[in-house]
Structure 1
């Protein structure tokens, strides 16, 4: 029987909460004893996803909210970042390296590429005007995670 640990958190779409979201995920996964690289990968992808919500989904409107869910089970952590913002017209195009809808704001267009490359599983679903859900999974390779 596997042990499931989970959390759900809603926070304001403000840039100051990007670091908060990173720390929540780092604290949540700590009991799995991740490597420094695994921990940094998780913090980076959360940062990218939350920043996308703030900048692209909500156009920096701090009155909007972001939902972040986490599930740890069988040595894997799954993170969902959900917004109810603008949505993405073409998710395949948005996943193309260097593509950005905000070139005037010096956006690199690498957020989805980073998320996809740092995680073992990455998926994005979106509806124009209805928001976006990012689901990402990473296996934690520690012995503790394998035997919990």
Structure 2
């Protein structure tokens, strides 16, 4: 099915966002990505993890999961949480919308993810968490 797969879980603490970026970047390195491709993936992962921490758990303790899978030259990343969920995904994905204006959030997280990845899907259920599924095709596979 997949050529390679990793699964990671970590506490919903902002200091773990950097770990998530580096872990996924290390995993993706087997695809021989360009600097731009690796930066795109790291930025998208950062946004997804930050969304889980800030919006999913709202500063409360929880677990964020990342599953990354490679098939051929395609990377799939699923970032998930078991937080409060998103009631209106369509609204949440609109540029500049934020559910946390008190934290001076820009409301551009999903837009950034969409910009840097080839596809983005959001699945969420109220009080049962959110899963962000991102895909990117790498052109530089040796």
Tell me the TM-score normalized by structure 1.
Answer: 0.93
1:59 aligns with 2:63: no
Q: Aligned partners of 2:22, 2:35: CA distance in 1, in Å? A: 14
Q: Residue in 2 aligned with 1:111?
A: 109
Q: Aligned partners of 2:36, 2:64: CA distance in 1, in Å? A: 26
Structure 1: which 4+ aligned runs deviate by more than 2 Å? Answer: none
- Structure 2 residues not aligned, in runs of 5+: none
Q: Aligned partners of 1:60, 1:76: CA distance in 2, in Å? A: 33
1:126 aligns with 2:140: no
1:41 aligns with 2:40: yes
Q: Residue in 2 aligned with 1:78?
A: 76
Q: Which is greater in Rg? A: 1
Tell me the TM-score normalized by structure 2.
Answer: 0.97
1:89-112 superposed Cα distances (whole Å, 9 cap, x missing partner): 100000000000111111000000
Cα shift at 1:54: 0.5
- The secondary structure found in structure 2 opposite 1:98 is coil
Q: Residue in 1 aligned with 2:31?
A: 32
Count of aligned positions: 142
- The secondary structure found in structure 1 opposite 2:13 is coil
Q: Aligned partners of 1:3, 1:100: CA distance in 2, in Å? A: 35
Indicate conservation of the 8 Å contact 2:73/2:141, yes or no: no
Question: 2:135 aligned to 134, 137, 143, which one?
Answer: 137
- Structure 1 residues not aligned, in runs of 5+: none
Cα shift at 1:143: 3.5
Q: Aligned partners of 1:7, 1:52: CA distance in 2, in Å? A: 21
